[in-house]
Structure 1
C-alpha cells in the first residue's frame, strides 16, 4: 500500500511561522522532501524522518521537477507518511500542481497544508498593508520570470491595473521589469519596495522608485527577495534617503 503525501507550506523563512498542523505533521513524518529555501531550524522538527533535499533555486544548480516528481512517488511507495516541504505556500508559484497531478495519476493519497506566502511576510516586515482604505482595494500576485521552454505571459497589463502588485522572482530581472513597466506607461516616480529575507534575522528593505529599479540588479542580494509596487509604499519611500546608491551601495 502506498503512503500518504502531505504538501506543506514552510512559510517565508522563519521556522516558527509554519502552521501548527504543518509542524505536527513534520513531527510524525517518515520522510521529508524539502526545498532549498527551507531553513535548517525547521528540519529540527522532524529528527525521526529521512531527510531528502530537492532544492530548486533560480540561477543555481537545482533538482529538475521531473526528478522531484519521481522521488515523491518512490518515497510514497516506501514510507507511510511523506512530507513535501515547500517554501512559502505550496499553491503559489510552487509547482504544486505538477506534483499533485503525478500523485493523483499514481493513485497516491495527498493533502495540501497551506503556508504563509512571502508577500504577506514582506508586508508584515515593512509594516505596510497591501491594502489601504481609499488607496488600494486589490492586490495582484504575479511573476515576470519564464522558465526554460515555457511560453511567455502578459504580466505587465495586470500589474498596471492593480492597486498593489507583488512580483515574485522579479528582482534578478529588475532592469527588464522596469523597462516593461515604463514602456507600458507606469510613471517613473511610482514607489516600490524590495524586501530581502522576509521574516529572517537578516531581513532588509529597499524603498525606491520605478526609475531606480534597474540599479537593484547590481546589489547582489544574497537571500530571496520580493518586489512590491504601489502607492501604499509612498510614505515608506518618503522616509528613505533620496539616492539609492548612497543607501544601498
Structure 2
C-alpha cells in the first residue's frame, strides 16, 4: 500500500533565548578598537577568539558572538560546534542572527563612540556579517573578509558605499574552498558591485593565521 504524506501546518513563533559571546577584554580607557569577529561553520566563539591571543587586549577589545545553532561535530561524541544558519527555514535564521548581532552591537559597541569598529568574519562568518551589514546598516570602520564568500541573494551594490576603502579580503594560498575558479568568480562579483578591496594572502589553508592577522592589524587597522 502506498503511503500518503501526512498533512500539517507549519506555524512560526518568536521566543526569547540566551546567546553567548566571548570577549577578550572589556572596553577601558586605553581601548581604541572594538572588534566583532564571527566564526566559521562548525566552530565556536571561543575558538576564533583564541586567534587574537597575541593582540594587545588593552587596545583591541574583541567580541566573538557564537552562532545560535549548536550541534556536536562528527556525532554525539564529537566536540561542540556552532553554525550561523542552514538552508532549512533560512530566512527565519537570517532574521534571528541579524537581530542577535544588532543586540551585540547596541549593547557592546554603541556605548563607546570614540572606539573604531572592526568587523571580521571567517568563512561562514564573513557571509553572515555581509548579510547583517546589508540589513542593519550599523556603522563600522573596517571589514575583513577572511576566507569567506559573498551572499548571492543580496545586491552587493547596496554595500559599495558602506565598504569604500574599508574592505579587505584575506585567504590562504592552499585554501581548498577558494579555488582559482571560485576566486575569479569572486573578483567578477566584486567588479560588478564596483568594489575593489585589497587582497592579502598567506601560506596556509582554510584557517585564521595568527601571524597574518598581526600583520593585517599593523598595516590596516589605524
Q: Do the structures match in fold with TM over 0.5?
A: no
Higher relative contact order (CA 8 A, sep 6+): 1
Q: TM-score, normalised by structure 1?
A: 0.29
Structure number with greater Rg is 1
Q: TM-score, normalised by structure 2?
A: 0.31
